[in-house]
Amino acid sequence: MADACYVHVPFCRSICYYCAFCRWIYDENRIDPWLDQIQKEVHAKSISHLKTLYFGGGTPNSLSESSFIKLASFFKPYLDNNYEWTVECNPEYVTQEQAALYQKLGVNRISLGVQTFSNTKLQAIGRTHSIKQVTDAISYFKKAGIHNISIDLIYALPNQTLEEVKEDLAHTFALDVKHLSIYSLQIEENSVFGKWHILPCDEDLEADMYETVVSACVEHGFEHYEISSFAKEKAYSLHNLHYWSDQDFYGIGCGASGKENGLLYENTKDMQTYLKEGPNPVYLEEDNAFDAIMMALRTSFGLNVDQWQQKYQKDFHTIYQNVLRKYMPEYLVYEKPYLKPTPKGMEILNTILVDFLDVN
Ligand code: SF4
């Protein structure tokens, strides 16, 4: 039975130009029916206890105080003693009162969507916050007693230079947060950028930017524990570790994904359908054994080969002997029972995974 839960809050007050997530423009009339549906979904799941709870979006902190309290009340009874409860927040909606409310309700981790520290670039990607709102938001949460704060950054933005990425990193390090998630911009077809035919960043420049991100984070005391994630003082995202270590998790809400009994599912992304009929999950036919390898090798902790063999009843070393011979020990190392990517291996992970996939 799963002990992690992702709740998708699909409402946003404005749409970022790069966004291809399931999100809907905030509409007060939809909030109560949406909350009713979420409550029904929770009841149908027979959740026993939760180690991690994650409100993602969309923009969870665009909800009013009363709506957020109601949403929280559906999940609070299931939280373990030692839980991690993350809420994704957009800086422009964070107030001192909101930070205090979240702390009072028991939220103990914040993931703040910062993306860049250039006001010009923020406007160019359709974000509606300012740098001042970022620093204010962080100080409100810290003052309220929530110190486990993660920042999301995006690099390879349109016309961004390597120097500008370095500047974003310097601003980030000055904020004294424990966790960073840093992604390169992907131009998705159904985003505004996709429709505008914005060209992706030059591949070599993007690779240089990634290298710069990794080395700067490591120099500033962050552990590079997952391809795009960095932590100080072992403040890993415990919720995301569920995804990367092939564990089940509930996915609740319109646009959420989950995994139950080893099967991945996606709830409907259509709000009308969700409000009328509920989540209507579609179960995906995935190669679970390969997925487990792919997700685990994203992390520096690697794949527990013994557990994998037991779960999938396959002989890992025999099946993948050629891939292992090709990449060990420079890019992959085996520290029984874990197969781990080396820092160099993380840099070329996609290439390594293609070779794993080809064996299947
Ligand atoms: S990127 Fe996040 S905040 Fe922006 S529109 Fe998409 S879901 Fe909303």
Q: What is the pLDDT of residues 41-94, one digit of tens each?
A: 999 998 999 999 999 999 999 999 999 999 999 999 999 999 999 999 999 999
Please state the pTM of the whole predicted model: 0.96
Q: Give the whole-angstrom CA distance, residue 122 versus residue 137.
A: 17
Token output for 325: 């011979």
288 C-alpha vs ligand 1 centroid, how far in Å?
Answer: 29
Going by alpha carbons, the residue nearest to atom 6 of ligand 1 is: 19
**Predicted pLDDT of residue 128:** 94
Most informative mutation of 8, 19, 154, 157 for ligand 1 (most atoms within 8 A of CB): 19
| Ligand 1 contacts CB of residue 90 (under 6 A) | yes
Task: Give which of 155, 79, 148, 63 is closest to 112, Cα–Cα.
Answer: 148
Going by alpha carbons, the residue nearest to atom 5 of ligand 1 is: 15
| Ligand 1 contacts CB of residue 349 (under 6 A) | no
**Residue 259: which residues within 8 A CB-CB, separation 6 or more?**
2, 247, 248, 249, 251, 265
Considering the chain, tell me which residue range(s) the CATH 3.20.20.70 domain(s) occupy. Answer: 4-243
How long, in residues, is the chain? 360
Q: Give the whole-angstrom CA distance, residue 57 versus residue 11.
A: 7
Task: Give which of 271, 269, 251, 114 is closest to 190, Cα–Cα.
Answer: 269
List, in sequence order, every residue forming a beta bridge with 8; answer none if it has no partner: 56
CATH number (3.40.630.10, 3.40.50.740, 3.40.50.150, 3.20.20.70) of 4-243 reads: 3.20.20.70
192 C-alpha vs ligand 1 centroid, how far in Å?
Answer: 12
Q: CA-CA distances (angstroms) from residue 325 to 61, 206, 334, 337, 344?
A: 48, 29, 11, 17, 16
| Ligand 1 contacts CB of residue 23 (under 6 A) | yes
The predicted-structure confidence for 173-206, as pLDDT tens digits, reads as follows 999 999 999 999 999 999 999 999 999 999 999 9
Task: Give which of 327, 322, 334 is closest to 350, Cα–Cα.
Answer: 327
Going by alpha carbons, the residue nearest to atom 4 of ligand 1 is: 16
Q: What is the pLDDT along the chain (360 residues), one digit of tens a residue?
A: 899 999 999 999 999 999 999 999 999 999 999 999 999 999 999 899 999 999 999 999 999 999 999 999 999 999 999 999 999 999 999 999 999 999 999 999 999 999 999 999 999 999 999 999 999 999 999 999 999 999 999 999 999 999 999 999 999 999 999 999 999 999 999 999 999 999 999 999 999 999 999 999 999 999 999 999 999 999 999 999 999 999 999 999 999 999 999 999 999 999 999 999 999 999 998 889 999 999 999 999 999 999 999 999 999 999 999 999 999 999 999 999 999 999 999 999 999 999 999 987
45 C-alpha vs ligand 1 centroid, how far in Å?
Answer: 27
Q: Give me the amino acid identity at 178.
A: K
14 C-alpha vs ligand 1 centroid, how far in Å?
Answer: 8
24 C-alpha vs ligand 1 centroid, how far in Å?
Answer: 9
**Predicted pLDDT of residue 285:** 84
113 C-alpha vs ligand 1 centroid, how far in Å?
Answer: 9
19 C-alpha vs ligand 1 centroid, how far in Å?
Answer: 6
Q: CA-CA distances (angstroms) from residue 34 to 88, 101, 274?
A: 18, 22, 8
> Which atom of ligand 1 lies closest to the CA of 90?
3
Most informative mutation of 17, 22, 23, 24 for ligand 1 (most atoms within 8 A of CB): 23
β strands within the chain, DSSP E = 4-9, 11-12, 24-25, 50-57, 79-89, 109-115, 149-155, 179-184, 223-226, 229-231, 250-252, 257-260, 263-266, 282-283, 303-304, 332-335, 338-341
**Predicted pLDDT of residue 35:** 98
Torsion of CA 346, 4, 292, 268, to 10 degrees: -100
Alpha helix stretches (DSSP H) within 64-118:
65-75, 96-105
| Ligand 1 contacts CB of residue 56 (under 6 A) | no
Q: Give the whole-angstrom CA distance, residue 184 versus residue 230.
A: 15
> Which atom of ligand 1 lies closest to the CA of 20?
6
Q: Give the whole-angstrom CA distance, residue 332 versus residue 348.
A: 11
Task: Give which of 297, 304, 360 is closest to 327, Cα–Cα.
Answer: 297
125 C-alpha vs ligand 1 centroid, how far in Å?
Answer: 11
Q: Give the whole-angstrom CA distance, residue 285 versus residue 304.
A: 23
